Structure 1
């Protein structure tokens, strides 16, 4: 609904925006034309003021040359020029032979010069930009008069009565500039307009920099109208969507979030909304929760049955292996030769190792974390010492095992590997065997079995050593790792995969 309202109002908003843009452009164009007209009028006023002074000087040039010197005609002309320029202009008039006839008080015109060929007037801006200087010559190049109009007088001449004074006006000529008026202050939200016009026979440029007229109330309303329209559309759409859609959906979402798997007392709140789809969605979710609750109950029962079955399987396998170990022990006691008894004992130790794995896996089955390595190796060590022959009963087994967990497959291979290495050390006359398991990384641990009887040069049958070495190598392949043999230290080490580590 919100999208529909926004789409319906979109054409109106675009029309209003285009109208506002067009109106703003038209107003800006009108203001620019007005500014251009103003700067042209200012240029004309400056041209006219200078032209009046030029005409006055040229009209008085002949009488001054005839009378020569400090005559009444010269003083009268000076007073007339000063009235024209508001007593701010400074002038000097010349007689015959470029001699200074009279000058405004305090005005020092400088040495007289002759004009270049064909030049009747020279107008320039002083180097400091504070005055407009002009010199007039007759047909023969003789100097008729010199005048200087200060910057403030030029500003008074260019000012149009009844107009705004917030503008900058600059008169420029060949790189020289005169700031005629300085009254504009720029700002971040002020639009500016620039315009210029030729002045003084096109040899000067008069430039104006000012701000555009502020927006009227109608222009401001037209500019903000699209925003108001979009805000109104958003507010109406939000109210409708919030009352009829969002609030019912929020209530449903809260009820769904509070639902826990297996909850059989789930009830949807009453939804006051004309949207039939939302009510149907709530009813559909209610049906789904009831179906899921039934399925979860069935799954829990099936999982419990499966767990009991797995525990029973492990328990029976462990018992069967213990029965086999007991039978082997009985046959070993009844054997007539030591070699036969030792063979029975060797087989019994391996059966015991497998039984230990099943017993530890049975103990950890509820947590589903795998087989605990520390109790597994501890029980293996106790069984190995208990089943050791009389000549190896003095052998000590030291353990330094961190509490890691491994999968059942790793536990079986690990139990056989420890059994083989300890039995090899036992047959080679070991006094001490050290078994350690330390963490190496997040999913790896380092297993080490060390004994002095495993060093090179120990008193051990080479055939027995070779047979055990082949078995150990095969078990290493089952663990998918290589075995590091350090015969100088008598150490076998390898990395095994672990799945978890118990907190100490």
Structure 2
């Protein structure tokens, strides 16, 4: 129905649109011609004002030179110039020897370079565009007078009484410009018109920027008539579609929105519509909801079985590691010789590190956020402190760890890395070990293990240090990062990729 009405009204709409476009185009041409005429009149007013100033100064130049500086002729001419410019212009008149004869109050005439032969006037804009300056010379190059007109006075000269003031007027010369008038505000629906005119024998350009004339009531009606026609057609089509299509679909949409995952059935509302497709759509959705409910029940059961299996695997791995650690502890107690006991203890510390990772991963399994580093490093430090050899029985392990989470692979490598470096510090006679973890960016944290026994001047067996250094370097490659060693402070530091941070 909407398409039929649209095609039926299409010829009338095209005629109205073409008429509107033709009228708008003619109005734009008329307005452009009007703007061009206005800018020409403004240019003539500026030329006339400057011509009067030039004629006044040149007419008084001879008497001023004859009577000398500060003469009545000079003062009379100055008053006439100021009266012409409503006391806004500032002038200086010159006598014999290019000496200032008289000048406007507060006006300090600037030095003017001698022009090229034959040049009678030098006119230019100031660099900041706030004034128009000029200098007049006689036939021999002698200076007759200088002056300047401020920007707002230039705007008053160019203003045409009784005309609109919503326009921008710019006076320009190569490299400089003056905003003579500023009153036009542009907008998304405003058409703009620009025009130029030559000023002062082509040495300046006067540019106007304004908006097109507003549309008349008849033009507005002709422009909006096609829109009204199309709106009428759309309204009729919408009423038909709304009653026969949209309202039944809205009732079905509400029924679908009220459906929640887990519902075993779908209550199809009564649909008073001749559209058989809508009724079939409701029945199809009812069949889909029954199928989804059945599949959801199967997935929930499978997920529950998978969760129990994963928890059982982690539980068994943790128990097996604890059994291995206990067996190593028993063998270490019955070993003969300190070297054998130390070897058992070293292996036990690494097994304990792996067990700590599994225990913490098992604890975080329900949230599935990864392995929490703060409790992992705390438990690992306690185990290392408890399993320290007699030579390092008084060693202190200080922790400054922020609550970050990492993946299980990263946690295993970090646990081994911390174990290796703390054990190296033990063997080198460390009194204190500091483990810190600070955030560096959204996805990186900085791990630092620092001890005085890791400094360059610390007394440590070279073979022991080389063995541990190879292991630490390999763990750094496994973490895909470089390990920075500061030999002055005894700090091993590296960047750790984190997945989340717990809220304090």
Question: Within 2, Cα distance between the matches of 1:309 and 1:224?
Answer: 72
Question: Within 1, Cα distance between the matches of 2:340 and 2:317?
Answer: 26
Question: Within 1, Cα distance between the matches of 2:432 and 2:21?
Answer: 100
Which runs of structure 2 are paired with 1:89-108 in the superposition (5 Å)? none
- Secondary structure of the residue aligned to 2:493 is strand
Which runs of structure 2 are paired with 1:61-72 in the superposition (5 Å)? none
Per the TM alignment, residue 419 of structure 1 is displaced from its structure 2 partner at its CA by 0.4
Identify unmatched segments of 5+ residues in structure 1.
29-213
Question: Within 2, Cα distance between the matches of 1:22 and 1:401?
Answer: 73
Per the TM alignment, residue 376 of structure 1 is displaced from its structure 2 partner at its CA by 0.3
Cα gap change, 1:237 to 1:468, in 2 (>3 Å): same
Per the TM alignment, residue 244 of structure 1 is displaced from its structure 2 partner at its CA by 1.3
**1:296 counterpart residue number:** 296
Question: Within 2, Cα distance between the matches of 1:281 and 1:246?
Answer: 14
Per the TM alignment, residue 280 of structure 1 is displaced from its structure 2 partner at its CA by 1.6
Which runs of structure 2 are paired with 1:12-161 in the superposition (5 Å)? 12-14=12-14
- Secondary structure of the residue aligned to 2:480 is coil
Question: Within 1, Cα distance between the matches of 2:450 and 2:21?
Answer: 93
Question: Within 2, Cα distance between the matches of 1:4 and 1:481?
Answer: 70
Cα gap change, 1:228 to 1:401, in 2 (>3 Å): closer
Per the TM alignment, residue 8 of structure 1 is displaced from its structure 2 partner at its CA by 3.5
Question: Within 2, Cα distance between the matches of 1:237 and 1:332?
Answer: 91
Question: Within 2, Cα distance between the matches of 1:474 and 1:426?
Answer: 20
**Which protein shows a greater Rg?**
1
2:311 matched to 1:311? yes
Which runs of 4 or more aligned residues in structure 1 lie more than 6 Å from their structure 2 counterparts after TM superposition?
20-25, 219-225
- Give the TM-score, by structure 1 length: 0.58
Per the TM alignment, residue 355 of structure 1 is displaced from its structure 2 partner at its CA by 0.5
Question: Within 1, Cα distance between the matches of 2:290 and 2:221?
Answer: 59
> What count of residue pairs does the alignment treat as equivalent?
314
Cα gap change, 1:8 to 1:341, in 2 (>3 Å): same
2:420 matched to 1:424? no
Per the TM alignment, residue 390 of structure 1 is displaced from its structure 2 partner at its CA by 1.6
**1:268 counterpart residue number:** 268
Per the TM alignment, residue 247 of structure 1 is displaced from its structure 2 partner at its CA by 1.7
**1:395 counterpart residue number:** 395
Question: Within 1, Cα distance between the matches of 2:472 and 2:395?
Answer: 21
Per the TM alignment, residue 269 of structure 1 is displaced from its structure 2 partner at its CA by 2.0
For each residue in 1:117-164, what CA deviation from the matched residue of structure 2 results, as whole angstroms up to 9, or x when unmatched?
xxxxxxxxxxxxxxxxxxxxxxxxxxxxxxxxxxxxxxxxxxxxxxxx
**1:277 counterpart residue number:** 277
- Give the TM-score, by structure 2 length: 0.58
**1:178 counterpart residue number:** none
Cα gap change, 1:342 to 1:22, in 2 (>3 Å): closer
Question: Within 1, Cα distance between the matches of 2:22 and 2:357?
Answer: 90
Cα gap change, 1:273 to 1:432, in 2 (>3 Å): same
Cα gap change, 1:223 to 1:439, in 2 (>3 Å): closer
2:498 matched to 1:481? no
Identify unmatched segments of 5+ residues in structure 2.
28-215
Which runs of structure 2 are paired with 1:138-287 in the superposition (5 Å)? 229-287=229-287
Cα gap change, 1:224 to 1:487, in 2 (>3 Å): closer
- Secondary structure of the residue aligned to 1:291 is helix
Question: Within 2, Cα distance between the matches of 1:17 and 1:499?
Answer: 61
- Secondary structure of the residue aligned to 1:492 is strand
**2:175 counterpart residue number:** none
**1:331 counterpart residue number:** 331
